[in-house]
Amino acid sequence: MCAAAVDKICVIGVGLIGGSFARALKRGALCGHIVGCGRSEQSLRRALELGVIDSYSTRPAEAVAGAGLVMVATPLGAMREVFSAICPALDAGAVVTDAGSAKAAVIEAVVQACGRLPANFVPGHPIAGTENSGVEASFAELFDRHRVILTPLPQTSPDALALVRGLWQQIGAEVTTMDVDEHDQVLAATSHLPHVLAFALVASLAHRSERQKIFDYAAGGFRDFTRIASSDPRMWRDICVDNSRALLDALREFRADLDQLAAAIEARDGDRIIEVFSAAKQARDQFVADKRKRPGS
Amino acid sequence: MCAAAVDKICVIGVGLIGGSFARALKRGALCGHIVGCGRSEQSLRRALELGVIDSYSTRPAEAVAGAGLVMVATPLGAMREVFSAICPALDAGAVVTDAGSAKAAVIEAVVQACGRLPANFVPGHPIAGTENSGVEASFAELFDRHRVILTPLPQTSPDALALVRGLWQQIGAEVTTMDVDEHDQVLAATSHLPHVLAFALVASLAHRSERQKIFDYAAGGFRDFTRIASSDPRMWRDICVDNSRALLDALREFRADLDQLAAAIEARDGDRIIEVFSAAKQARDQFVADKRKRPGS
């Protein structure tokens, strides 16, 4: 029996996000049976051994049969193929949601794959993750008190939205809804741009001749600053490609501000420098204080 | 009695670094008496209450009287004034060192203040710190197994160098020596540039209209990435101004690499993107693995 009114849930892409979603469902005894689906049978077998899923198939059309809810948690680049495979195979009334980081691109992939946007599709994005990937890195608490953004469209069925929202809430997440473009812009700024900067910085330093010495003398601040550069390159390539418009907008804006700061440094304009740094410190300290009030989000 | 062959040590600037240096000396029972010196009597009184120092003076010339070793751990912007005050007041044979993050600028300040580079001056830089500042944030373990870079010059006295090196080692730090310019370049790349990027990003996001929403939806990756943006703005202004040449070089190089990456994202050149991200991940994972072998450094 399933508290969320679905007996069988199919998770396509049983990695960090999909695996943690399945673990959280199991922790809450929220579902009778979880079918895992993915490309690598080895990884699915491992998920089964770990008790993350109850059965698996490498064929999406087979995996979704009988499922009342399908969670697509693959990398963005694989979504169109997945949706093409599952669209004709879904049970009548099955609700589909996803965990993709770029909502406009996922919606476009669904439309291209299914010929239309099904009313039972609820675009979603849990704001959670670590720099690790794969089912081994998954854990049931990943979404606890973390935000999940749903970006329903006018044609999205209210019942489907309620089902997905309820499931995330029962898992312990804090669900909000947002406009698709707004989601893509906010995430470009807070997540995609920082990742690009961290990747770019470490790559830039790594190809410099002093490389060994540079990393030898890096301290704790550098370790934290670059943690996200240890994230999965393929996943982040997909995000960059699929949210390129919003990301490039955010990057352009940042570049303009960085150029101004560089000019102030070149001019040794201490007042201007301190103005920028103080604004940053104030905003960041406020951000941390707010987080303390609402931990995990 | 003092294991490092100095009975009295004067710490000018009893903040995070100076305070932690004093605490570490006390922890190791390495010195008989520590005189603190700074601008704020209130802060010095707090340092005395905390047992970080044994006495204090707000006048540098008074504070250094009788001290066998003087550690200047003020912000870079205050160093010239400090050296001007202490140069004529130092005991014969007193060794002076500092903890400034930009070595060429400190050496220039010493030369300007003292009219020459005293043989007993040993330029130094402990690669340690947190985003917090002030004596309240100081702790004796800050330098444990952390690197300290000394940048002696041809005229630096070998005995003075040995004294400073020995003291840091007794505190638990790992001491290396480096050329002044090399130090400034390496630190620009691993520390100053990341700080500038973090400050610039948070300031850039903070002045965008979506500010509240942006920070609301930022997750753990953002918190770590921006931790260094909570650092002391004045201290970092000084570093940017005093190491501007090396910092701007590093920034230019990074900017060129970032522009190439942005072009690849704009062209949706997945292969190129993944190449950069993979190089970054590999270097960063290696960096973390190396750190695990030599923790704290």
Quote the minimal CA–CA distance from B151 to chain A in Å.
Answer: 14
Report CB contact under 8 Å: A277, B222: no
Q: Give Cβ neighbours of residue A266 (< 8 Å, ≥ 6 apart).
A: B244, B248
Choose, out of B179, B202, B243, B286, the residue to mutate when testing the contact with A (most A CBs < 10 Å).
Answer: B202
CA distance B67 to B79: 18
Instruction: Tell if the CB–CB gap between B219 and A127 is shorter than 8 Å.
Output: yes
- Residue in chain B closest to A176 (alpha carbons) equals B217
| Structure confidence at residue B5 as a pLDDT band (50, 70, 90) | low
Query: Taking CB atoms and an 8 Å limit, are A186 and B253 in contact across chains?
Result: no
Chain A residues within 8 A of B197 when measuring between CB atoms: 197, 201, 225, 258
Burial label for A62, CB within 10 Å (0-12, 13-18, 19+), is middle
Residue-wise pLDDT tens digits, A250-267: 999 999 999 999 999 999
Does the domain formed by A183-266 have CATH 2.60.40.60? no
| Chain B closest-CA separation from residue A260 CA (Å) | 10
- Complex ipTM: 0.87
pLDDT of residue A91 exceeding 80: yes
For residue B9, CA distances in Å to A22, A43, B18, B37, B101 come to: 60, 61, 11, 11, 21
Q: B129 to chain A: which residues are within 8 Å by CB?
A: 219-221
Residues 6+ apart with CB under 8 A from B98: B71, B72, B73, B79, B106, B123, B124, B125
CA distance B116 to chain A (A): 25
CA separation for the pair B183, B196 (Å, rounded):
18
Contact list in A for residue B216 (CB cut-off 8 A) is 147, 290
Which of A92, A94, A96, A93 is closest to A83 using CA atoms?
Answer: A96
CB pairs under 8 A between A and B: 306
* Res A293: pLDDT: 76
**Residue B181: per-residue pLDDT:** 95
Give A292→chain B minimum CA distance, Å.
Answer: 12
Residue of B nearest to A125 (CA): B217
pLDDT tens-digit series, residues B25-46: 999 988 889 999 999 999 999 9
- Over residues B97-149, the pLDDT tens digits come to 999 999 999 999 999 999 999 999 999 999 988 878 899 999 999 999 999 99
Mean pLDDT, chain A, integer:
93
- What are the DSSP calls for B172-183, one per residue? T-EEEE--HHHH
Mutant choice from A76, A230, A257, A287 vs B, greatest count of B C-beta within 10 A: A287
Would you say A288 and B223 are in contact if contact means Cβ atoms under 8 Å apart? yes
Q: Which whole number is the average pLDDT over A106-123?
A: 96
Looking at residue A211, what is its pLDDT? 63
Measure B92 CA to nearest chain A CA, in Å: 34
- pLDDT > 60? residue A135: yes
pLDDT reading at A290 higher than 60: yes
> What pLDDT digit, counting tens, does each position of B202-255 carry?
999 998 865 667 888 887 788 888 999 999 999 999 999 999 999 999 999 999
Q: Which amino acid, A209?
A: S
Closest CA to B93 of B6, B2, B1, B3: B6
Q: Average pLDDT of B45-69?
A: 97
Q: How far does the CA of residue A67 sit from the closest CA of chain B (Å)?
A: 31
Query: Do the domains at B8-178 and B183-266 have one common CATH topology?
Result: no
A212 has pLDDT over 70? no
Homologous superfamily of domain range B8-178: NAD(P)-binding Rossmann-like Domain (3.40.50.720)
Residues of chain B with Cβ-Cβ distance to A77 below 8 Å are 270
**Interface contact flag, B281 A146, Cβ < 8 Å:** no
**Residues contacting residue A243 through CB under 8 Å, at least 6 positions apart:** A101, A102, A104, A105, A184, A187, A188, A192
Report the residue from A203, A248, A288 with minimal CB separation from B280.
A203
Q: Rounded to two decimals, what is the model's pTM?
A: 0.87
Confidence band of A26 (pLDDT split at 50, 70, 90):
very high
Distance from CA of B260 to the nearest CA of A (A): 10
From the list A204, A254, A291, the residue facing B200 with the nearest CB is A254
pLDDT recorded at residue A295: 52
Is A64 a residue whose pLDDT tops 60? yes
Which whole-number Å values give the CA distances from A246 to A102, A252, B245, B254, B281, in the listed order? 9, 10, 33, 22, 24
Tens-place pLDDT, residues A34-52: 999 999 999 999 999 999 9
pLDDT tens by residue, B155-184:
999 999 999 999 999 999 999 999 999 999
User: Which residue among A149, A237, A258 places its CB closest to the CB of B277?
Assistant: A237
Searching chain B, which residue's CA lies closest to the CA of residue A286? B215
Tokens of A244: 């390129």
Q: To which residue do tokens 């917090």 refer?
A: B132
CB A273 within 8 A of CB B237: yes
Give the mutation candidate from B176, B179, B237 for the A interface (greatest A CB count, under 10 A): B237
Select the residue of A191, A230, A234 nearest B222 (Cβ to Cβ): A191
Q: Which of B141, B190, B275 to mutate to test the interface with A (most CBs of A within 10 A)?
A: B190
Domains of chain B, residue spans:
8-178, 183-266
